[in-house]
Structure 1
């Protein structure tokens, strides 16, 4: 009879290729965003299909433009494009570092809480609704809402 597996504590596997692959992907994305301007007509980067179909902003609308602004060192413009994404980047970085195996064990409880999808779902749905309301301060959440 095989031994019982303790599922109460997460096992930590060797990061292997995940960390370098994620880092390479992030660097490649940053280089692409340094070169391709999503604000330019006919850009290599596509516009939001949800906005095109519905006329409403999805939670990700403005994310490419926000990351483009960050790649160019303009955090104020990035916040104007997609404040939720910009404010979430530290949490996203921590979760990616956990997946890559780059965090000490003492950080694991925090990253496990951050990776719980339920609070993120509530925040993202609320953000999607409020950024489409036509009056201030909610209209400031739309891409380019605060100049």
Structure 2
């Protein structure tokens, strides 16, 4: 008798759909992200007029957690990791986390298992607190090294 997969209700030897079908979504997401990074890599955010200015920075002069994200992506695409970290360290960490999640998604898709991300409230609150600390520190005088 074949083993039943508890995740999908299918047999362990015949997951639903073909590998090609199961990889359609992760490959499409990769294509979209690659296109976005290619665009940011080609159109320099350091040149004025190409991208809108952060509304928080424009109105208050304060850096939000996303400020410098496009400059960070531009530097990242060009292989300049130090400049990318200086522009927005949180963004670089986000690129790496998303690459890891995407890799897990692909492996699970090949095996016929769905990607399940079940974040409990504690990790979400922790992430929010870390972003808040990052935002506050980058706007204080001693956090100047975190300015984009």
Alignment match of 2:61 (pick from 31, 38, 55): 55
Residues 1:96 and 2:102 are matched in the alignment: yes
Quote the residue 2:141 is aligned against.
134
Following superposition, the deviation at residue 132 of structure 1 comes to 0.3
Cα displacement string for residues 29-75 of structure 1 (whole angstroms, at most 9, x for unaligned residues)? 121012111110221x2221211121100000000000001111111
> Cα gap change, 1:64/1:86 in structure 2, threshold over 3 Å: closer, same or farther?
same
Give matches, 1:1-147, under 5 Å. Answer: 11=7, 15=22, 17-43=24-50, 45-98=51-104, 101-104=105-108, 116-135=123-142, 138-143=143-148
- Bigger mean CA offset, 13-22 vs 116-125: 13-22
Cα displacement string for residues 69-109 of structure 1 (whole angstroms, at most 9, x for unaligned residues)? 111111111111001211332222222344xx31358xx89
> Cα gap change, 1:52/1:11 in structure 2, threshold over 3 Å: closer, same or farther?
farther
Give the TM-score, by structure 1 length: 0.72
Larger-Rg structure: 2
Query: Would the aligned equivalents of 1:38 and 1:46 in 2 still touch at CA under 8 Å?
Result: no
SS at match of 1:95: helix
Cα displacement string for residues 93-144 of structure 1 (whole angstroms, at most 9, x for unaligned residues)? 222344xx31358xx89x7569942221111111111110012xx221111x
Give the TM-score, by structure 2 length: 0.71
**Aligned counterparts of 1:60 and 1:114: Cα–Cα separation in 2:** 24
Quote the residue 2:12 is aligned against.
none
SS at match of 1:60: coil
**Aligned counterparts of 2:62 and 2:76: Cα–Cα separation in 1:** 24
- Return 5+ residue gaps in structure 1 as ranges: 1-9
- Return 5+ residue gaps in structure 2 as ranges: 1-5, 9-15
**Aligned counterparts of 1:69 and 1:114: Cα–Cα separation in 2:** 33
Quote the residue 1:3 is aligned against.
none
**Aligned counterparts of 2:136 and 2:79: Cα–Cα separation in 1:** 29
